[in-house]
């Protein structure tokens, strides 16, 4: 019997404006399957939420997670207190969102139904800055905490399964 390896991505928050979110999933062949999705809405104690998320991560045998680059050292420090290694994502959020599109379009992502998640995903906007650089983010006065957790989860498992997210195959 094959043992399942779980992956996780966190989108931390300071507890006053944005939600703090966590996505846990695994791979089945080349499909990323979302197993758990959590969102804690503000106001909350970030330290308390890290404790809650850490307990959930341990129940999935996850001791290493990837997370948004937000807030510098504090997520690493607080997760470390609970025995969880927190590594900031290597790519910025906009790149993680860009890489998510091929996974969704090729049905390489199996999501749980969550109306708030779906709203956040379909609300993402692509913008071009004056210098010509593209970015993908949520519209003003909206949130993307769950979408970020899902995109990050997909990204941190991406190198572990075969599909080309570069879009180089598009003519």
Return the pLDDT at 167: 38
Helix (H) or strand (E) holding 170: none
Chain centre distance of CA 170: 25
- Model's pTM, two decimal places? 0.87
pLDDT tens figures, 52-70: 999 999 999 999 999 988 7
Return the pLDDT at 2: 59
Mean pLDDT in each 10-residue stretch from start to end of the chain (171 residues)? 85 92 95 97 96 98 92 91 95 90 92 95 90 87 94 80 38 37
Architecture of the domain made up of 6-158 = 2-Layer Sandwich (3.30)
Q: What is the token pair recorded at 167?
A: 């879009």
Give the position of tokens 């129940």.
Answer: 59
* Beta-bridge partners for 87: 66
């Amino acid at each position: 019997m094959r043992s399942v390896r779980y992956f996780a991505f966190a989108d931390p928050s300071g507890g006053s404006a944005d939600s703090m979110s966590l996505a846990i999933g695994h791979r089945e062949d080349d499909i990323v399957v979302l197993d758990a999705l959590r969102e804690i809405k503000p106001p909350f104690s970030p330290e308390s939420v890290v404790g809650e998320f850490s307990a959930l991560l341990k129940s999935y045998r996850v001791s290493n997670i990837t997370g948004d680059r937000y807030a510098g050292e504090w997520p690493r420090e607080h997760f470390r207190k609970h025995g969880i290694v927190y590594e900031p994502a290597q790519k910025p959020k906009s790149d993680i969102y860009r890489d998510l599109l091929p996974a969704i379009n090729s049905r390489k992502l199996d999501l749980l139904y969550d109306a708030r998640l779906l709203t956040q995903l379909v609300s993402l906007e692509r913008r071009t800055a004056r210098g010509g650089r593209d970015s993908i983010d949520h519209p003003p006065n909206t949130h993307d905490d769950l979408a970020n957790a899902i995109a990050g989860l997909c990204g941190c498992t991406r190198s572990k399964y075969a599909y080309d997210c570069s879009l180089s195959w598009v003519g």
